[in-house]
Structure 1
Amino acid sequence: MAALTPVFLFLLFLSANSDESSSCFSAIAISNSVAALYVFGDSTVDAGNNNYIHNAPRANSLPYGIDFNNTPTGRFTNGKTIADFIAILYNLSLPPPYLSLTEAQRKTARDGINYASAGCGIFPNTKPRKKDCWSLQKQIEAFNRTVQEDLPCMIEDPQELVEYLANSIFFISMGANDYILNFNTHHGPEYFANSLLVQFKWYLQTLYNIGARNLVVNNIGPLGCLPSVINMTGNGQCDEQINQNIMPYNSQLPQTLKNIQDEYPDATLTLANSHDLFQDILADTEKYGFTDVKDPCCGAYVNGKLACIPNSTPCDNRCQYLFFDENHTSEFANCIFVRDMLIKG
């Protein structure tokens, strides 16, 4: 298969689906051109791996999953994640959480697997205080086991396995937690971004060496505009200092991806520019169908901080909220991100 490009992605649309989020897509035939989707990242795309990690941040109680068959799966939203909508776009099964699968199931998961873990980051030491999660390094190690031990049970011919991986998409959504939990102002934003990108580049090269060829990389959204942060500013506005801290990373990420692609001409690295799309939504909420971009659909004050309380009642008009909880976007927003950021990225 030819390398995937932003133009190619533009031609692929999701057919009409039964839930509300399908309204953000045009009803045009879906594509069968992708072999599988492999997902790496944090809570933006975790599909439930943290349910199987001791003392990990979890979203395994309602109202999380209220629009996912009214079932909390571990996704930090009311329904589907960005990764789920990418899978639907390519007519693939939703990639199951790696840690939810038995050894036998891992040897039959041909449509892809989700390795993402909420709370972790690119740096191996990024994680919430007194909590655990799988860093990007651990996620890639698990994917390597998939390639070495599981996929050969389904694809015995080594060359066919190479082609299968080359025809798969590898979606990586990570880096926000490194700034939220691990940012060090001692050396400044430029130094932090450079260090983070050096680490990230090595991981992307590792994925290439394992067999990945089509990598779609999400950048970092304006973290200063999260409801949890706005709540702490006291003026109802975004924290622009936090937004400025992440800019060196977002500015340098495209060149990092280009450098890798120049080094490996048979690879295609696509930037999913969620940051700029996020800014567009904040600037023109009506255009995207939102009525509230600052408040969480599920949120109450706990010790002065916003939180989505287990078994609480969220807002009714969830598709009009950009955020479902204090830090995570709604299902409708996730659908829009896939529709627009892959097209315009």
Structure 2
Amino acid sequence: MAIISSSFCILISSLALLSTVGEGYGDEETRKGGEVKKVLFVFGDSYADTGNLPTSVSRSWKSPYGITFPGKPSGRFSDGRVLTDYIASFLGIRSPFPYRRLKNLNTNTIRYGINFAHGGTGVFQTLQVDQPNMTAQIDFFQQLVDKNVYRSEELSSSIALVSLAGNDYSTYLARHGSFQGLPELKRSVIEQLVLNVRRIKDFEIKKIAITGIEPLGCLPRNSAASSYRNCNAEENNFSQSHNILLQQHIWALNYETAAPVFKYLDLYDAFISALKIDQKSPGNLTDKLKPCCGGAKGEDA
């Protein structure tokens, strides 16, 4: 992924999310005159990872990543901020500390939540075989909850961000080279994702934002066949079918809970909107589908 383009897309998508995620946040506490402690818990992949991958295995710790924020590589798969950072900024808190970077559980490091997301991962095992999938990330969170690191009132007033950008699918294509089994895999991926977000809700978290997947056909590895001139229509159609099925499940989850706990974050339209913007200002990318720099295998999302 071209990292400068990606952070711009993430900015647009986060704005779309914030209009819904912040809705009703802390209303009950505000009515009571109390101060709401804002806490953000993050699960998923590189669209949300702020530094969990080891420095020895990930290019996200090397230049040019991080050139616009924080000014040096920080483990983010972007030239600057990722989705987690924008949401935290909207909430008026610091971006949650990466779980793998925690040296202790003192108040300063965990007061704004924890980021469990690991770049390149999915709901199942991906090409990042040594990194925790989403189930394992939630297991880490479970361990902290069992230790009473967070009080029940902190959990009930918190927000969870769940990022799933398609690494399960790219892993399948890398291993099989065919679209044949993707429809069945899609159902399995979303069923597992639903199990995961239900589990997060069981921690009494009342706002859970779930990303759809971006237009996979516009990622550099898939637009390369057209010399980065056009997106791959077949992959984009698949992305849309994933997102439609996901939204149906989110609707069902909210119906089941009789409350709008689960929010859909539309990365697909955000990316398409960004790609359509006519960028003429100096310094902007002109080849939006072309990677600006090298990337590591399995780290596209």
Q: Please give the range of the TM-score, normalised by the shorter of the 2 chains.
A: 0.7 to 0.9
Contact 1:47 1:114 in 2 (8 A): yes
Aligned position for 2:54: 51
- Measure, in 2, the Cα distance between the counterparts of 1:256 and 1:138: 22
Aligned position for 2:38: 35
Contact 2:44 2:163 in 1 (8 A): yes
Q: 1:58 to 1:133 in 2, by over 3 A?
A: farther
Aligned position for 1:320: none
Aligned position for 2:127: 127
- Measure, in 2, the Cα distance between the counterparts of 1:224 and 1:8: 28
Q: Does 1:174 align with 2:172?
A: no
| 1:172-225 deviations in Å (ceiling 9; x for gaps) | 111410111125657544322211111111111111112222001111001111
Aligned position for 2:253: 260
Q: 1:236 to 1:208 in 2, by over 3 A?
A: same
| 1:250-273 deviations in Å (ceiling 9; x for gaps) | 111111111112222355111110
Contact 1:107 1:150 in 2 (8 A): no
Aligned position for 1:61: 62
- Measure, in 1, the Cα distance between the counterparts of 2:280 and 2:274: 8
- TM, length-normalised to structure 1: 0.69
Contact 2:210 2:262 in 1 (8 A): yes
**Structure 2 residue aligned with 1:284, among 236, 255, 277?**
277
Deviation at 1:135, TM superposition (A): 0.4
Q: Which residues in structure 2 correspond to 1:91-170 (within 5 Å)?
A: 91-105=92-106, 109-123=110-124, 125-128=125-128, 131-152=129-150, 161-170=151-160
- Measure, in 1, the Cα distance between the counterparts of 2:77 and 2:243: 24
Taking only aligned residues, the RMSD between alpha carbons, in angstroms, comes to 3.1
Aligned position for 1:304: none
- 1:61 corresponds to which letter in structure 2? K
- 2:207 corresponds to which letter in structure 1? N
- 1:207 corresponds to which letter in structure 2? I
- Measure, in 2, the Cα distance between the counterparts of 1:47 and 1:65: 11
Aligned position for 2:74: 73
Q: Which residues in structure 2 correspond to 1:313-324 (within 5 Å)?
A: none
Aligned-residue sequence identity (percent) comes to: 28
Aligned residues: 269
- Measure, in 1, the Cα distance between the counterparts of 2:22 and 2:105: 33
- TM, length-normalised to structure 2: 0.78
Aligned position for 2:211: 218
Aligned position for 1:295: 290
Aligned position for 2:8: none
| 1:275-321 deviations in Å (ceiling 9; x for gaps) | 0121122233449996532233x32xxxxxxx159xxxxxxxxxxxx
Aligned position for 1:237: 230
Aligned position for 1:206: 199
| 1:158-181 deviations in Å (ceiling 9; x for gaps) | xxx333212111001114101111
Q: Does 1:270 align with 2:268?
A: no
Larger RCO: Structure 1 or Structure 2 (Cα < 8 Å, ≥ 6 residues apart)? 2
Deviation at 1:127, TM superposition (A): 2.6
Aligned position for 1:313: none
Q: 1:186 to 1:242 in 2, by over 3 A?
A: closer
Deviation at 1:93, TM superposition (A): 1.1
Contact 2:220 2:228 in 1 (8 A): no
- Measure, in 2, the Cα distance between the counterparts of 1:242 and 1:68: 31
